[in-house]
Amino acid sequence: MKLPPCVLTIAGSDSGAGAGIQADSRTIHALGGYALTAITAVTAQNKRSVMAWRAISPALLAAQIKAVTGDFHVAAAKTGLLPGIAAVKAIAESLPFGISLVIDPVIGSTSGTRFLSAAGVRALKKNLIPRATLITPNWPEAALLTGLPVTTFREAESAAWALLADGCQAVLVKGGHSGGRICRDCFVTTDSRERWFEHARVNTPNTHGTGCVLSAAIATGLARGRRIDTAVSDAVEFLQRSLKAGRMVNWGGGGAGPAFAG
């Protein structure tokens, strides 16, 4: 029996299971991978808000990464919530080189909780982004990472190219914050390729964890040997199918339900 490719998710734990480690693991397994985990922080949250959170110690975070990479063949990794400078450095020092790395730069929650300080963002740009196969910021994250305004598709394109200067191989600036009925994601690479992924906005209240699902799906595609543009394209389609499949689910209680609950 052929073993599934191992994908390591380095992210926070979401007690509501809509995002973070839980959403990543569901996505990786749904796409034929085997999810390994290194938890960066524990959050107390539900569909409405993050009520409390606490970072895992850098030493324990590094130990988790070393434990799994020392025993499993990790084909790809992804990062999500990074709770500070020490966490960024712990990941950079413990994650072996040569592993395809997708960085979903989760600087804060949609409900308004800030996880990564300005100093942490600088550490991310210095220590991890240069190692990334791909980074997947949304518009607010792209603005924080570049210092540029990102409120239009043209500005998103400019930010995508600017982010390549930090040393990553490719950038996908997601267009979910654009408003309107059409979303456009800008994909650029260091070999001067540019591609736009365009798709109709899915009318659903269940959007929690979309960035986690997308980045985990891309990492799984890379682990399965897909080219980066193919992995991105497949992941965008997977997220669209997930949003459409879950749009009629009524989770109750208010707030945004999980984007993928498979």
Q: Which residues form the catalytic set?
A: 174, 207, 209-212
Looking at 56-106, which runs of residues are DSSP E strands? 74-81, 100-106
